[in-house]
Amino acid sequence: MEVLEHQLEKLSLQMEHTQIAEYVQLLNRPFSLIWRNILAGTARGIGIAIGFTFFAATILYVLQLLGALNLPIIGDYIADIVRIVQHQLEGGAY
């Protein structure tokens, strides 16, 4: 009987750690669930936008440096790419 009681206590502690009660309460309040998902989606979208901006700026910077080296074949292609991107950023159509 003592072993069973010990196992039951262990199980109850594990259930408390999994926070099942909080999860069930969250499911019973759909407005709260929707609000949390909206906030999470917005944060994810902003993070992706900021990350892509830094990534694109770094790539353009590296391409400009490579274009300044005047490499025979690659330099022309890189210069064209940089020119096209700068034209797009200024609002012009290609």
C-beta separation of 21 from 27 below 8 A? no
Look at residue 45 in the predicted model and tell me its pLDDT.
Answer: 97
Tokens of 33: 């669930």
Report how far residue 88's alpha carbon sits from residue 93's, in angstroms, rounded to the nearest whole number: 6
DSSP code for 90:
T
User: What does the domain layout of the chain look like in residue ranges?
Assistant: 2-89
pLDDT at residue 94 above 60? no
pLDDT 10s digits, 49-92:
999 999 989 988 887 887 777 777 777 777 788 888 888 888 76
Q: What is the mean pLDDT of the segment spanning 44-49?
A: 96
Instruction: Report the distance separating Cα 51 and Cα 62, nearest Å.
Output: 17
pLDDT score at 53: 93
pLDDT digits (tens, 9 = 90+) for 24-36: 888 889 898 899 9
How far separated are the first and last CA of the chain, in Å rounded?
A: 80
Coil/strand/helix, residue 63: helix
Provide the whole-model pTM.
Answer: 0.54
